[in-house]
């Protein structure tokens, strides 16, 4: 998973740098949500067997009975990735600990770096040249 997150970070930094001029933070937030859901799906697939899923859910703080029912769920990976059980166990803080930057953080950094200091477009320009 470390390698996968490193590759995702490399991709998102480049993609965000390319589209940083667009003033659309909501699009980057939506992409962030999709990316975390996709990574939750991958993590759920990595756990493979139901007893491994149950053990890992209990390890992150989910009660035994809920972990058991979700571990033996017949729902598909993508649907389980959107469930409250994985959203609660594999939180945003968990992904930050794993090293995921996502789209939002690089976008905020680039947007703040490219903003101009000064008075902005409201200042009048006074021409002091010949003429």
pLDDT along the chain (131 residues), means of 10: 92 86 84 94 95 95 94 94 92 92 84 64 62 57
pTM of the model: 0.78
Looking up tokens 């200091």 gives 117
Question: What confidence score (pLDDT) does residue 78 get?
Answer: 94
Q: What is the pLDDT of residue 75?
A: 92
User: How confident is the model at residue 115, as a pLDDT?
Assistant: 64
List the chain domain ranges: 2-122
Nearest to 14 by CA among 100, 113, 103, 114: 103
| Per-residue pLDDT at 51 | 96
> What is the structure's pLDDT at 18?
85
pLDDT of residue 122: 55
Tokens of 1: 């998973």
Q: Work out the angle at residue 5's Cα, subtended by the Cα atoms of residues 80 and 1, and round it to the nearest 5 degrees.
A: 65
pLDDT of residue 121: 58
**What's CA 58's distance to the chain center, in Å?**
24
User: Among positive and negative, which fits the CA dihedral 50, 55, 60, 61?
Assistant: positive
């Amino acid at each position: 998973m470390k390698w996968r997150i490193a590759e995702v970070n490399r991709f998102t930094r480049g993609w965000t740098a390319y589209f940083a001029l667009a003033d659309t933070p909501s699009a980057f937030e939506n992409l962030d949500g999709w990316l975390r859901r996709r990574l939750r799906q991958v993590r759920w697939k990595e756990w493979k067997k139901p007893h491994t899923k149950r053990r890992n859910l209990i390890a992150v703080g989910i009660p035994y009975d809920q972990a058991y029912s979700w571990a033996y769920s017949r729902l598909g990976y993508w649907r389980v990735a959107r469930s409250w059980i994985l959203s609660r166990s594999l939180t945003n803080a968990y992904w930050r600990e794993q090293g995921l930057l996502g789209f939002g953080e690089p976008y905020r950094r680039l947007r703040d770096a490219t903003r101009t200091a000064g008075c902005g477009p409201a200042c009048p320009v006074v021409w002091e040249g010949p003429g």
